[in-house]
Amino acid sequence: MEQTLPPNVMNHYRHNESTYDSISAQLEETKEQFLSASRATQIRMLQQSHSFAVISVQTPVGIHESAFSQLWATDSPSQELDDALASVNYRNQKSEYISHSLRNGHKWSDVADLLEDGNIDSAHKMILDEFKGVGPAKAPFTLSMLGFVSKMCVDANIINAMGLDGHVSTVVVEKYDSICDNLRAKMPSLREMVSPFLWQWVTFDYQRGTISDHEVFFEVVQYSDE
């Protein structure tokens, strides 16, 4: 018997199933694009996803997405940082984190190697170890937004939705994934129907009372490889 914690998440999913099918398709298309792209494009997509994750921390979705769109409106994001992040919480720290990412494309190239080889856990660990501003929740979010949907982001919304105390602090990938598995087991019907990341996405939306399609993100990252 399914444990109804939180209640009505399945109803939310069923009422909006076509929307979540579209989101799943967007994620799959993004992953296919990433895996077939040039290395330069892969690095840029990873940097974009990292910045999307960094900006999202403790920032309302509308401000978050507007800042991200402005940041990547040109081919010179480093020159756009101050203006793009002007309304973002903790903008000085986030500017530092994104600048570090933009300066370290060679490290993102190593992450791309791991993803091409199917080593998703190793890519998760490397992002935690090598890049700033993305902790236990946002490092996997960087990957999941690029379509590697075996990963999920246990942020404050998920913690609140599931009635948990505190936050997920482990940086051990296996322990983090175990926590995710245990959370998904609380809603086994949804777990059987969607990927880990979409399970998180549906629960996130339910907790907030709205659907976030993150269309801005997909518009930025889904461009043709040159």
Burial class (CB in 10 A: 0-12, 13-18, 19+), 119: middle
pLDDT at site 197: 97
| Nearest of 20, 42, 19, 29 to residue 147 by alpha carbon | 29
Sequence-ordered list of residues with C-beta below 8 angstroms from that of 148, at least 6 positions apart, any chain: 31, 115, 120, 123
- Mean of pLDDT over the chain: 91
225 inside domain: no
Please say if the pLDDT value at position 203 is more than 90.
Answer: yes
Residue 4 — pLDDT band, cuts 50, 70, 90?
very low
1 inside domain: no
179 inside domain: yes
4 inside domain: no
148 inside domain: yes
Range of the domain at 184: 9-218
3 inside domain: no
| Nearest of 129, 156, 124 to residue 143 by alpha carbon | 124
Please say if the pLDDT value at position 104 is more than 80.
Answer: yes
Domain tally for the chain? 1
Distance CA 168, CA 159 (A): 9
117 inside domain: yes
96 inside domain: yes
Distance CA 110, CA 29 (A): 22
Residue type, 110: D
pLDDT at site 158: 87
Distance CA 139, CA 224 (A): 25
Q: Which of 2-11, 99-108, 185-194, 201-210 has the lowest mean pLDDT?
A: 2-11
Please say if the pLDDT value at position 217 is more than 60.
Answer: yes
Answer left, alpha or beta for residue 42, where phi above 0 means left and psi between -120 and 50 means alpha.
alpha
What's the pLDDT tens digit per position in 106-151? 999 999 999 999 999 999 999 999 999 999 889 999 999 999 999 9
What's the pLDDT tens digit per position in 149-188? 999 998 888 888 887 776 777 779 999 999 999 999 988 9
Q: Are 112 and 33 in contact (CB under 8 A)?
A: no
